Amino acid sequence: MKTRLQSLSNSVSAILLVLCFSCKDDDTQAVCNGSDFAIANTTGAFPANTTYIQTLGDLNITALENNNAAETPKSAFIWKYDDTGIYTTSFGAPATMVKYRVDENCIPREGEKMVVPGANTFSAVEFISPTKAYASVGGGLAKVVIFDPSTLRVTGEIDLAKTKRDGAPEMYYIGTAVRDNKFFLALSYFDANFNEAYDSAMIAVIDIATDKVEKVIRDNRTGHIFPNGAALEAFAMDANGDLYVQGLGYTHVASGRNVPSGILRIKKGQTDFDPDYFFNLKEATGKNCYGLYHFGDGQTFTTRIEDPSKFWSAPSCKFYILNLNSKTSLGELSGVPAVQSSSTAWMRKFDNERILFAVAGATENAVYQYNIASGMASKMFTTVGQSFGFEKKD
């Protein structure tokens, strides 16, 4: 269902405070053997959500229950799973990140916690190295938190004051990518009525070595780069190192301009949008689209919005296959039901045989697989709740 990031009054000068809580010394913990995957499934309707976070030893199941899961009373996302734990964020104030440690029974247990009072939620997380990561905060704070993933302690911040714009009291930083020692951060600007303030796609280019904003790039061929948590992706990189960015598209109220859904490109070694490349998704598929998942030639996907009026309340999106080079649609992914908005339709490639993806359908929630060799999709297992994150241990 549609949820809106809470706004923070711009008249208040927010002071960044961080609270970190540690779990027991790792040396006293037994080791779990065989927890190769971590998945988060959310039940209920906002604000009465519950998320179940659990691990899986393999994918040879037909139905996944939540009996061996850790519970959190909010909608939560998984951003990363490695030997140190499962990194999660939950929707709502204050912005909170929790690292779950996996016990000897392969059950996640709450470990370190990072809280930013005054920030409404963590919007996007990008891991730079084992000791450096970025987390943008939603709801008006013009900053990105820099933290150490190994300890979940804040080590600094990136000042985003350079990205502020007149007539846009609501600002959100959702959608990220890293390439060529640059951090690309999508910018969304809204007016006081929560309408798009600008009819363009806008991205801040940040230098990772200095943690400074170098510039803001803008392109009016599409707009509204606004993915949702760790589930939906708007950035993708191909084998050449070219970066692709997907805009949802919308009607710009102030000008009346109908901005189409589309894909822009930032070529390898460049930090500006490529003026010679634009993939008009609305023209290619017949309707606006949401999300971009690229796994190689013939393996690029989006979800087409079938009914915008029911986007957040009913199954209203269908998976489509794209060709980024020819800028064409290869049609609907057959054998897959419509999903309830693409924010519940993550896609992950863990091997060379298949691509896994989530489907929040009309009658059940499930994880499906796309067979790369055959180009066919089939259901793997059902889940109790909508899946907002699925990661393989690094």
User: What pLDDT, on the 0 to 100 scale, is given for residue 277?
Assistant: 98
Mean pLDDT to the nearest integer, 264-280: 98
Give pLDDT tens digits for 228-269.
778 889 999 999 999 999 999 988 888 888 899 999 999 999
Nearest residue to 263 (alpha-carbon basis) of 239, 286, 240, 288: 288
Please check whether residue 258 lies inside any domain of the structure. no
User: What pLDDT, on the 0 to 100 scale, is given for residue 3?
Assistant: 37
Please check whether residue 304 lies inside any domain of the structure. no
User: What pLDDT, on the 0 to 100 scale, is given for residue 199?
Assistant: 86
| DSSP run (H or E) holding 283 | helix 281-285
Nearest residue to 222 (alpha-carbon basis) of 284, 131, 167: 284
Give the chain's end-to-end CA distance (angstroms, integer): 31
- For the chain, the helix, strand and coil percentages under 3-state DSSP, each to the nearest 5: 5, 50, 45
Q: Which of 22-26, 79-83, 186-190 has the lowest mean pLDDT?
A: 22-26
Instruction: Please say if the pLDDT value at position 172 is more than 50.
Output: yes
Please check whether residue 53 lies inside any domain of the structure. yes
Please check whether residue 122 lies inside any domain of the structure. yes
Instruction: Please say if the pLDDT value at position 1 is more than 80.
Output: no
User: What pLDDT, on the 0 to 100 scale, is given for residue 142?
Assistant: 82
Q: What is the CA radius of gyration of the chain?
A: 20
Of 293 and 192, which is predicted with more confidence? 293
User: What pLDDT, on the 0 to 100 scale, is given for residue 246?
Assistant: 97
Q: Report whether 91 contacts 76 (CB < 8 A).
A: yes
The rounded percent of the chain whose pLDDT value lies above 90 is 71
* 127 confidence band (pLDDT: 50, 70, 90): very high
Give pLDDT tens digits for 135-171.
998 766 789 999 999 999 999 999 999 998 888 888 8
Residue 40: exposure state from Cβ atoms within 10 A (0-12, 13-18, ≥19):
buried
Please check whether residue 367 lies inside any domain of the structure. no
Give pLDDT tens digits for 340-381.
887 778 999 999 999 999 999 999 999 999 999 999 999 999
Please check whether residue 34 lies inside any domain of the structure. yes
Please check whether residue 75 lies inside any domain of the structure. yes
Mean pLDDT to the nearest integer, 313-325: 93
User: What pLDDT, on the 0 to 100 scale, is given for residue 138?
Assistant: 76
- Kind of pairing, strands 376-383 and 63-64? parallel
User: What pLDDT, on the 0 to 100 scale, is given for residue 194?
Assistant: 87
User: What pLDDT, on the 0 to 100 scale, is given for residue 140?
Assistant: 61
Mean pLDDT to the nearest integer, 90-117: 93
Give the amino acid at 243.
Answer: L
* 5 confidence band (pLDDT: 50, 70, 90): very low
User: What pLDDT, on the 0 to 100 scale, is given for residue 154?
Assistant: 96
Domain that holds residue 54: 15-138
Please check whether residue 380 lies inside any domain of the structure. no
ω before 94 within 30° of 0 (cis)? yes
Token pair 């990136």 is found at 158
**Torsion sign, CA atoms 275, 276, 280, 283:** positive
Cβ atoms within 10 Å, residue 179: 17
Nearest residue to 190 (alpha-carbon basis) of 124, 141, 144, 252: 252
* 31 confidence band (pLDDT: 50, 70, 90): low
Q: What are phi and psi of 163, to 5 degrees?
A: -95, -5
Instruction: Please say if the pLDDT value at position 41 is more than 90.
Output: yes
The rounded percent of the chain whose pLDDT value lies above 70 is 91
CA angle (347 as vertex; 345, 349 as ends), nearest 5: 165
Instruction: Please say if the pLDDT value at position 117 is more than 90.
Output: no
Domain count, the chain: 1
Instruction: Please say if the pLDDT value at position 60 is more than 50.
Output: yes
